[in-house]
């Protein structure tokens, strides 16, 4: 199967699921909307696993976007209510807002995990080279044939290290 056709088909599965989700939300049917969204995500996962084209970063982004869509839908359906009097007034329900914020908060986790994984991966790739210091350039001397230098010898500068 052509690589472009694979990507188009996987994108089409997600697009059809999101359109069905939005249409169900428009009809005030959250249960059916969640069924459409979840079914399309499961179908997409199965499709990319069958084609051996699964990417964790894409999956994390899709799960996050889906979570944000659900959070926005819950906020609109249960957090905000339009009342007839006074004209154009809204009532905000704390329960619906809290649920929407909770769903939105947990939708951030996949993106954070992917970000941390990419940061850790780049830190592993950057291996600091062994820096050359003056001490590294001097040879190490191991010998039993030496005598302790006196203070006069150290200040004179007239001593040498003999390497065998």
pLDDT, tens digit, 9 for 90 and up, residues 148-160: 777 777 777 776 6
pLDDT at 150: 75
pLDDT at 4: 84
In whole angstroms, what is the distance from residue 33 CA to residue 22 CA? 7
> In this structure, are 71 and 98 located in the same domain?
yes
Centre a 10 Å sphere on the Cβ of residue 46 and count the other Cβ atoms it contains: 11
Range of the domain at 24: 1-53
Are the beta carbons of 113 and 121 closer than 8 angstroms?
no
pLDDT at 12: 95
Phi, psi torsion values for 131, nearest 5 degrees: -75, 140
In whole angstroms, what is the distance from residue 134 CA to residue 154 CA? 20
pLDDT at 152: 77
Question: Please, which residues have CB within 8 angstroms of residue 101's CB and are 6 or more apart in sequence?
Answer: 71
Indicate the helix (H) or strand (E) that contains 140.
none
> In this structure, are 67 and 123 located in the same domain?
yes
> In this structure, are 34 and 46 located in the same domain?
yes
In whole angstroms, what is the distance from residue 115 CA to residue 56 CA? 11
The tokens for 17 are: 């699921």
> In this structure, are 37 and 91 located in the same domain?
no
> In this structure, are 45 and 102 located in the same domain?
no
Helix H segments across 108-160?
A: 109-125, 134-137, 151-156
Tens of pLDDT, residues 4-35: 888 899 999 999 999 999 999 999 999 999 99
Number of domains in the chain: 2
Q: What is the mean pLDDT of each run of 10 residues along the chain (164 residues)?
A: 82 95 95 96 95 91 96 94 86 94 96 89 65 53 69 73 60
């Amino acid at each position: 199967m052509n690589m472009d056709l694979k990507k188009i088909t996987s994108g089409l599965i997600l697009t059809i699921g999101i359109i069905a989700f939005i249409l169900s939300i428009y009809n005030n049917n959250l249960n059916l909307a969640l069924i459409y969204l979840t079914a399309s995500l499961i179908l997409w996962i199965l499709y990319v696993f069958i084609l051996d084209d699964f990417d964790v970063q894409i999956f994390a982004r899709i799960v996050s976007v889906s979570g944000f869509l659900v959070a926005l839908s819950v906020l609109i359906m249960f957090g905000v209510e339009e009342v007839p009097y006074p004209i154009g007034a809204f009532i905000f329900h704390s329960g619906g807002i809290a649920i929407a914020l909770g769903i939105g908060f947990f939708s951030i986790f996949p993106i954070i995990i992917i970000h941390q994984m990419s940061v850790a991966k780049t830190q592993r790739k950057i291996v600091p080279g062994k820096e050359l210091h003056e001490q590294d350039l001097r040879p190490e001397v191991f010998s039993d044939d030496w005598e302790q230098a006196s203070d006069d010898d150290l200040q004179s500068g007239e001593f040498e290290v003999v390497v065998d």
